[in-house]
Amino acid sequence: MSDAPTHEISPRALRARHERGDPAVLLDVREQNEWNLFRIPNAIHLPLARVSVAASEALANFPEGEIVVYCGRGTRSVQAVEMLRAQGYKATSLAGGIAAWIDAGGEVEE
């Protein structure tokens, strides 16, 4: 990983954005088996290993909007944010991942 600053948003701040009608595109970079268990509603799934090669296809409908990337605990999403920013996307990591989202009362679906 680089020494570039980490771009993060807290679960609380993300929930507040959703509540005021300012949602971001959610990108789940967990593995398929993790995605199958539960996910944040309306998220797009793209495992971390595929972000560098498939982001343009997965995010084709969202070329200019902010992308909030999440994983289990916030480590993989930081890596994905670096890759996405290198490709020109406005990407932010969900601090603490989906675990912190759930702890903050965020909704998930199965």
The domain that holds 45 is classified in CATH as 3.40.250.10
In a domain, 3, yes or no: no
Contact at 8 Å (CB) between 41 and 66? Answer: no
Query: Shortest CA distance to 101 belongs to which of 49, 2, 21, 24?
Result: 24
pLDDT tens-digit map of 64-109: 788 999 999 999 999 999 999 999 999 999 999 999 999 999 999 9
CA dihedral 99, 105, 107, 110 (to 10 degrees): 50
Domain that holds residue 21: 8-103
In a domain, 110, yes or no: no
Give me the pLDDT at residue 101, please: 97
Q: At what angle do helices 75-86 and 48-58 cross, to 10 degrees?
A: 40
Q: How many domains does the chain have?
A: 1
Query: Shortest CA distance to 108 belongs to which of 56, 43, 51?
Result: 43
Give me the pLDDT at residue 23, please: 74
In a domain, 108, yes or no: no
pTM (whole model) above 0.85: yes
Q: Give me 20's structure tokens.
A: 């005021």
Contact at 8 Å (CB) between 43 and 53? Answer: no
Contact at 8 Å (CB) between 106 and 84? Answer: no
In a domain, 52, yes or no: yes
pLDDT tens-digit map of 29-39: 999 999 999 99
